[in-house]
Amino acid sequence: MKLTVIGCWGGYPKKNEASSGYLLEHDGFKLLIDCGSGVLSKMQNFVQPEQLDALVLSHYHPDHNADIGVLYHARLIQGFLGKKPPVLPIYGHNLDQAEFSKLTYKNVTTGVAYQLDQTLEVGPFRITFLRTVHPVPCFAMRIEVEGKVLVYTADTAYKEEFTDFSRNADVLLCECNFYGQQSGKGAGHMNSFDTGKLASLAEVKRLVLTHLPHYGDLNQLLEEAKQKYNGPIQLAHEGLTISL
Identity at 234, one-letter amino acid code:
Q
Share of the chain above pLDDT 90, in %: 97
Domain of 205: which CATH number?
3.60.15.10
Q: What is the DSSP letter of 186?
A: G
Strand partners, 16: none
pLDDT in tens, 22-34: 999 999 999 999 9
With 0.85 as the threshold, say if the pTM is over it. yes
pLDDT in tens, 80-95: 888 889 999 999 999 9
Strand partners, 125: 122
CA distance linking residue 49 with residue 40, whole number of Å: 7
Q: What is the DSSP letter of 56?
A: E
Domain count, the chain: 1
Query: What is the arithmetic mean of pLDDT over 151-174?
Result: 98
Q: Domain range holding 232?
A: 2-243
Give the containing element (helix H, strand E) for 207.
Answer: strand 207-210
> What per-residue confidence (pLDDT) applies to 82?
83
Per-residue buried b or exposed e for 92-108, using 16+ beta carbons within 10 Å of the residue's own CB: bbebeeebbebbbbeeb
> For the chain, first and last CA: distance in Å?
5
pLDDT in tens, 174-220: 999 999 999 999 999 999 999 999 999 999 999 999 999 999 999 99
| pLDDT band at residue 44 under the 50/70/90 scheme | very high
Compute the residue count for the chain.
244
> What per-residue confidence (pLDDT) applies to 83?
81
Query: Phi then psi for 202, rounded to 5 degrees?
Result: -85, -10
> What per-residue confidence (pLDDT) applies to 10?
97
pLDDT in tens, 102-122: 999 999 999 999 999 999 999
User: Could you count the other beta carbons within 10 Å of the beta carbon of residue 205?
Assistant: 16
Greatest Cα-to-Cα distance within the chain, rounded to the nearest angstrom: 55
Mean pLDDT of the chain: 97
pLDDT in tens, 121-146: 999 999 999 999 999 999 999 999 99
Q: Residue 70: left if φ>0, alpha if ψ -120 to 50, beta else—which one?
A: alpha
CB contact set of 117 (below 8 Å; sequence gap of 6+) = none
Kindly tell me if the per-residue pLDDT of 53 is higher than 90: yes
Query: Phi then psi for 117, rounded to 5 degrees?
Result: -100, 15
Contact 20, 64 (CB under 8 A): yes
Give the containing element (helix H, strand E) for 75.
Answer: helix 68-80
Kindly tell me if the per-residue pLDDT of 64 is higher than 90: yes
Share of the chain above pLDDT 70, in %: 100
CB contact set of 124 (below 8 Å; sequence gap of 6+) = 26, 27, 29, 145, 146
